[in-house]
Amino acid sequence: MGVAGVAGSVAPAGPREQSAPRWQLGPRWQRARRVARVAAIGTGATAAAAAATTGVLLGQARQARRTIPMAEAPPPRCDGVYGAKLPGPPLTMVVLGDSSAAGYGVHRRRETPGSLLATGLSRRLHRPVRLHRFAVVGAISSGLKPQVEAALEVSPDVAVILIGGNDVTNRTPPALAVRYLVDAVRALRGVGCEVVVGTCPDLGAIQPIQPPLRWLARRWSRQLAAAQTVAVVEAGGWTVSLGDLLGPRFVAEPTRMFAWDRFHPSAEGYAVAAAALLPTVLSALGGVQERRPGLARGEGVRSLPEAAQEAARHAGTEVSATQVRGRDRGPGGRWAQLRRRAFFGVGAVPQAGPTADSPTLEGRP
């Protein structure tokens, strides 16, 4: 998926929030930081570091700022009840995060991630879904708290959080960004709400960002995504790695997969991301019959740090907590289940009329 958040650019340096001392973060935070560093291996860090000494990165950052326009009109509202005529009480879903959660770049509510997910959820579970979107364009992880406070007022059953892109562009220290995200997950889990987090997308897929800045953007994105995975699963949530989910298609069909600003996803781009997220949302709610992991697909049980590293490298990978012989933890830390689920309606462009079961149908608030 494209960058999450207000249109901007990736700079090698920028405003920072003060990172907490390592001794305050505890062993799990330190583990997340180590995993983030390992996940970044092989992403061009050496070449990018060498180029930084020549000022190339600064010049590319300035060029990216000139190329990528600032956010203009807000995304369409998508709140309401989807599948209102279906039997049973509505299931309440909230969508939190930044512009990738809000659906910036599309013009119809049925094209927003919230609408796509709510419609798919309603049709798969055969019950109404009440959607509340609290995501804010331009939000960074420290901005999740007021969104969570608003979400708790509607007693959510499930929350979908998409965050991280703006933390990368603003160079928020990963440990600090992850701490804010974990606070949000814990607050929601504390009231029994299931939480699915789409981890930081790969900003290296954004066309206006050129190498070597692109290599650094990919490295920073992968570091944050791995750290988010470890921390969210430890806090009781589920994660889906978005990574370079759309990368190959963005390269092949940039006019279709990008919105007008060449920075955020198009309607088709959001449909692909929603298709990756929906199976995990259903699983978190107990709405699908779990199949046995397929070893040929690279699925199975790993230590959480290993699962996070692998998920950061392979977009569309789900990570959740599990047990081995009745134990939550092993020598390498918490056990985690790694899955690569079949997507629903991948690549389908939202249509006005009814189609087969797909997260791309329009809701009927």
Q: Which residues are catalytic?
A: 99, 261, 264
Angle between helices 213-234 and 56-67 (to 10 degrees): 80
Q: What's the farthest any 2 CA atoms get from each other in the chain?
A: 64
Q: Is the dihedral of CA 23, 24, 29, 34 positive or negative?
A: negative
1 DSSP 8-state letter:
-
How many other CB atoms are there within 10 angstroms of residue 33's CB atom?
20
Q: 227 vs 32, 118, 200, 306, CA distance in Å?
A: 5, 28, 10, 11
Cα torsion through 276, 105, 58, 53, rounded to 10: 10
111 DSSP 8-state letter:
G
324 DSSP 8-state letter:
B
On whether the CB atoms of residues 176 and 20 are closer than 8 A, the answer is yes
142 pairs with which residues across the strands?
A: none
Name the percent of the chain in helix, strand, coil, to the closest 5.
Answer: 45, 15, 45
The number of helix segments (H) and strand segments (E) in the chain equals 13, 10
Q: Which residues contact 28 (CB under 8 A, 6 or more apart)?
A: 230, 231, 234
Phi, psi of 112 (to 5 degrees): -75, 155
Residue 289's identity, in one-letter code, is: Q
Give the CA count within 13 Å in the CB-facing half-sphere of 212.
17
**Helix boundaries (H) for the chain:** 22-39, 45-52, 56-67, 99-102, 113-125, 144-152, 165-169, 174-189, 213-234, 247-252, 254-257, 267-284, 304-313
